[in-house]
Amino acid sequence: MLGRTIFIDPGRCIGCQACVSACRECDSHRGKSMIHLDYPDEGHTVASLPTVCMHCEDPVAPCAEVCPADAILITADGVVQEADPTRCIGCANCVNACPFGVPKIDLDAKLQMKCNLCYDRTSYGLAPMCATVCPTGALFYGTVEELQAERPGVDVSTMFAFGATTVSTGVAMVVPSDRRTPVPGGMLNLIEVNGRPTPGNGAEA
């Protein structure tokens, strides 16, 4: 059962980067943004996708599981914290294991950094920085009921398919209400998007 969390709706994202700027203001990683904003079909559409940590629940936090130094703590409320700087050895296992491409690494500082759901704010009941500033509601913080009260007819999914494996997460994505199957985590054999070939499948370099 989802509690208060972030709901991501890429369909509403206008790629304005407000979330990226706001994330930099977060006290636990001042000056560095932990949110990713990508343009999956750059040059052809204005589609953009914000990515925060999905706080995987099952399997619970693959980043923490592959950490050789036990540096990534999952708090009782299900939030996957950024690496404990005392323990992190900067091996990048978490960066490469995360199927969502979330953690960042500073190789000089031997330190991983990632979105911690603005723990300094959310643990006091405040919305994360990104959701606070998002002008279109592409990043919404609240409960499913609050989301559906504002947006009738939408549903959310916390199931993501990576090949044959389904990962369930603490952060959800908005999906059409008739969708029952997991959201694809990315199709490695995706050969075209919106009728055009993808890189490696005939697209111009």
Please report, for residues 3, 41, 96, 108, the alpha-carbon distance to residue 168 in angstroms, rounded to integers and kept in the order given. 14, 26, 19, 33
Tell me: does residue 57 bind other proteins (CB under 8 A). Answer: no
From 59, 135, 197, 202, residue interacting with other proteins (rule: CB under 8 A): 59
Tokens 């993501």 correspond to 160
Q: Which is nearer to other proteins, 98 or 130 (CB)?
A: 98
Tell me: does residue 193 bind other proteins (CB under 8 A). Answer: yes
Tell me: does residue 173 bind other proteins (CB under 8 A). Answer: yes
Of 64, 45, 66, 42, the closest CA to residue 55 belongs to 64
Q: Which is nearer to other proteins, 55 or 104 (CB)?
A: 104
Beta bridge partners of 80: 74
State the first-to-last Cα distance of the chain, in angstroms, to the nearest integer: 44
Under rule CB under 8 A, which residues in 79-108 are in contact with other proteins? 81, 85-87, 89-93, 95-104, 106, 108
Instruction: State in angstroms the smallest separation of the CB of 11 from other proteins.
Output: 4
- # residues near other proteins by CB under 8 A: 76
Tell me: does residue 198 bind other proteins (CB under 8 A). Answer: yes
**Which residues fall within 8 angstroms of residue 15, CB to CB, at 6 or more apart?**
37, 39, 46, 48
Q: Which is nearer to other proteins, 90 or 142 (CB)?
A: 90
CA 97 to chain centre: 14
